[in-house]
């Protein structure tokens, strides 16, 4: 069974204090790993997709990396507006289905204080 | 919200009553999904659709049914609501399922907060 574990559950940072969020996964053949951002009362917002180990993607202060067992979301010099819940999800290769099931972790709640 | 509208945004209902949630998309995407989000469980797939009148169950489908009569609309029905179905419900869409490239990215609506008393 596919499994995704995110750590820490919550992270408090001072503005400008860089850190990383972790997403560990087990999946029967990784098709893609997805990072989403979710603000309170809103739906998840897509950030990145990573497809193979060694791949990296960046967007503003965020950088996502992927190994064969985990992904990191690095946040450089965060600002208060980066405060949100960050969700990680994996999509397995076809296993009799074609709909692209996503298995989500429970998320990391990031709070950045000014 | 990537051309996705969920309605209603909030609903309070009583145990035993039927409830229908609507997801409407303007992207003409083939795949549509219903998830529920609960503390401690993350997002879990209820049902999905891979075309008009083509639907299938997800991991938490008991007590829910769906219908898709048009590409743009995907309805989630709770035939007889129970307190365990109090949750936030999200609709998502994607252009493809497992095909490569950005087409398999799922985009989410703003959610419906449902309370069953």
User: How many C-beta atoms lie closer than 10 Å to residue A41's C-beta?
Assistant: 10
Please name the residue ranges forming H helices in B1-117.
none
Chain B, residues 61-80, CB within 8 A of chain A, namely: none
Q: Give the CA count within 13 Å in the CB-facing half-sphere of A14.
A: 1
| Number of Cβ within a 10 Å radius of residue A76 | 14
- pLDDT score at A97: 53
Percent pLDDT > 70 in chain A is 95
Angle ∠(B86,B90,B94) on CA atoms, nearest 5? 155
Numbered residues of chain A with Cβ closer than 8 Å to any chain B Cβ: 31-32, 34, 36, 41-46, 49, 51, 87, 89, 91, 93-94, 97-102, 104-107
Q: Which two tokens stand for residue B103?
A: 């087409």
A18, A35, A47, A63 from A79: Cα distances, Å: 10, 19, 17, 15
Chain A nearest CA to B80, separation (Å):
26
State residue B98's pLDDT score.
60
Residue A82 pLDDT exceeds 90: yes
For the record, the structure tokens of A100 come out as 């692209």
Q: Which residue of B has its CA nearest to A33?
A: B105
- Residue B19 is predicted with a pLDDT of 97
pLDDT of A98 over the 60 cut: no
Q: What's the whole-number mean pLDDT along residues A6-31?
A: 95
Find tokens 């909030």 and name the residue: B10
Q: Which among B44, B45, B109 has the least Cβ separation from residue A43?
A: B109
Query: Does the pLDDT at position A6 exceed 90?
Result: yes
For residue A5, what are the β-bridge partners?
Answer: A24
Give B11: exposed, middle or buried? Use CB within 10 Å, 0-12, 13-18, 19+.
middle
- Between CA A73 and CA B7 the distance in angstroms is 33
Residue of B43, B90, B104 lying closest to A100 (CB–CB): B104
Residue B39: phi and psi, rounded to 5, are: -55, 135
Using pLDDT thresholds of 50, 70 and 90, give the confidence band for residue A111.
Answer: very high
Length of chain A: 114
Q: pLDDT confidence of A29, banded at 50, 70, 90?
A: confident
Which of A37-51, A93-107, B87-101 is the least confident region?
Answer: A93-107
Mean pLDDT of successive 10-residue stretches along chain B, which has 117 residues: 89 97 94 93 92 92 96 97 98 76 82 97
Q: Are B69 and B53 in contact (CB under 8 A)?
A: yes
pLDDT at A106 > cutoff 80: yes
**Per DSSP, what are the bridge partners of residue B113?**
B10, B88
| Token pair belonging to B86 | 């109090």
Contacts of B56 in chain A (CB under 8 A): 97, 99
Per-residue model confidence as pLDDT tens digits over A10-21: 999 999 999 999
The reported pLDDT for the residue numbered B42 is 87
């Amino acid at each position: 069974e596919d499994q995704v574990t995110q750590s820490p559950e919550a992270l408090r940072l001072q503005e400008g204090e860089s850190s990383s969020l972790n997403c560990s996964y087990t999946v029967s053949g990784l098709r893609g790993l997805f990072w989403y951002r979710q603000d309170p009362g809103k739906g998840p917002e897509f950030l990145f997709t990573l497809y193979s180990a060694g791949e990296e993607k960046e967007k503003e202060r965020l950088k996502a990396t992927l190994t064969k067992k985990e992904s990191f979301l690095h946040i450089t010099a965060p600002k208060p507006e980066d405060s949100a819940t960050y969700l990680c999800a994996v999509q397995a290769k076809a296993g009799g289905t074609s709909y692209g099931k996503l298995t989500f972790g429970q998320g990391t709640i990031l709070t950045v204080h000014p | 919200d990537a051309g996705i509208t969920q309605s209603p945004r909030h609903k309070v209902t009583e145990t035993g009553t039927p409830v229908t949630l609507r997801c409407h998309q303007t992207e003409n995407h083939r795949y549509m999904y219903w998830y529920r989000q609960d503390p401690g469980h993350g997002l879990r797939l209820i049902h999905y659709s891979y075309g008009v009148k083509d639907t299938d169950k997800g991991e938490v489908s008991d007590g829910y049914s769906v219908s898709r009569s048009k590409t743009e609309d995907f309805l989630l029905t709770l035939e007889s609501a129970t307190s365990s179905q109090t949750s936030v419900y999200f609709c998502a869409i994607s252009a493809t399922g497992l095909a490569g490239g950005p087409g398999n990215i799922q985009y989410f609506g703003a959610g419906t907060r449902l309370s069953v008393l």
